[in-house]
Amino acid sequence: MIRRREGPAEAPSASLGFAGVSWSELCTVLVAVIVASLPAVMPAMVGAMAAQPGIGNEGAGYLVSINMAGIFTGTLVSALTHRRGSAKQRIVAGLLVMILGNFMTIAASGMASLMIARLLSGVGEGFAAGVCFSLIAVSSRPGTTFAYYAAGQAVVGFIGMGSLPWLVAASDWRAFYVVMTLVAVPALFLAGPATRHVPTEAAKSPKSRTISSAGFVSLALIFLFFSGMALVWAFLQPIGEQHGLSLATITGALASAAIAGFVGSLAAALAADRLGDRSAALIGMALVIASAAGLCSGSGAAFVFGAWALNFVWGFQYPFLFRMLARTDSGRGAAVTPMATGIALSVGPAVGGAILAHAGLASACITFLFITLGALLVCFGRSSSAVPLALLEQS
């Protein structure tokens, strides 16, 4: 039986804002998008690093993986120390560590120093993001607030992947991290407004102390799906270059793919009341197969379609995977979702880079299919009932 969850006490201005989300909650979303902007432009980062002498696809994969490992570590530390300091202080602390890591990246002169810098930056990103996710979880309408976050990530991906490759080509790979640092500065001033809508007690009190076995299964499925997606998604620019495509074509494909992810999230939100887990999984499997076929093809148009399908199915499937987790464990399990995705985004690029370097594109696509289809097949077998996405706002 589903019971309505009573939200936290709202500040006097909680009714103000946009579409039921207060301005304070919108500030939380904006800060979360800023601190988690790197995953949205990961292909641009990989492309910038892979072109450097002595790094290549494999080295770029390891760099982005250690960055994601840092994000996971920072999120874990944030969860373990959630009772220490105010939410504003914790967000600011994470942002400062993230900015310091970016400065160290700009000044780095070798692979070892780059690895340390990206790890440090990731820790700051993950720490601040963990605070933001906890604030979103106790907002008045967490499902709607999370949807705004997903949309913001897609916008960042569209702008970043459409412009950063050109910026790096015209100047230097360090320009990528200069931009990432400048983007982080406004979040320092938004940390205060972003934490005003949630009482301290609500922000710091988890629903439960343990994760249920069903919750662990749902988290594992999210991990597998993200790992398979990241395996090829992080290398879209090098894959396009392998097909002999121009920078203009690749940049256009990456930008349109970001739009596709945004459209996929909107499609999931609109269809959630009518679409069950099995139907969603079937649609996801069809799109995953279509994406792999497009990316393996030597045609430029097929590559664009493959990149578009990849991002669409990612944006479309994630809400349904999270809905399944919310149905099985809406407490601690849902709270540690960023950790599962962080580990996946650490493993996926490292595996993808190694496979591309030693076995080729076809093997990478086969591995991508094996992992993602496996996760979706388990989803297909677990549930067939249609549960509204509004469940994210209930327990």
142-170 and 42-50 helices, crossing angle to 10°: 20
> What are the residue boundaries of the structural domains of the chain, listed by start?
23-142+171-205, 207-395
Task: Note the pLDDT tens digit of each residue in 45-77.
Answer: 777 777 766 777 777 778 877 887 888 888 778
Confidence of residue 391 (pLDDT cuts 50, 70, 90): very low
26-30, 113-117, 213-217: least confidently modelled range: 213-217
Q: Which residues pair with 18 in a beta bridge?
A: 21
Confidence of residue 10 (pLDDT cuts 50, 70, 90): very low
Indicate the pTM of the whole model: 0.69
User: Average pLDDT for residues 369-390, to the nearest whole number?
Assistant: 74
The tokens for 89 are 């202080």
pLDDT on residue 334: 62
* Fold match between domain 23-142+171-205 and domain 207-395: yes
Q: If we measure between CA atoms, which residue out of 33, 11, 31 comes closest to residue 22?
A: 11
81-85, 91-95, 336-340: least confidently modelled range: 81-85
User: Average pLDDT for residues 352-366, to the nearest whole number?
Assistant: 86
Task: Note the pLDDT tens digit of each residue in 234-245.
Answer: 788 888 887 777
The hierarchical CATH code for the domain 23-142+171-205 is 1.20.1250.20
Confidence of residue 339 (pLDDT cuts 50, 70, 90): confident
The hierarchical CATH code for the domain 207-395 is 1.20.1250.20
Q: What is the pLDDT of the chain when averaged over all its residues?
A: 77
Q: If we measure between CA atoms, which residue out of 14, 388, 391 comes closest to residue 196?
A: 14
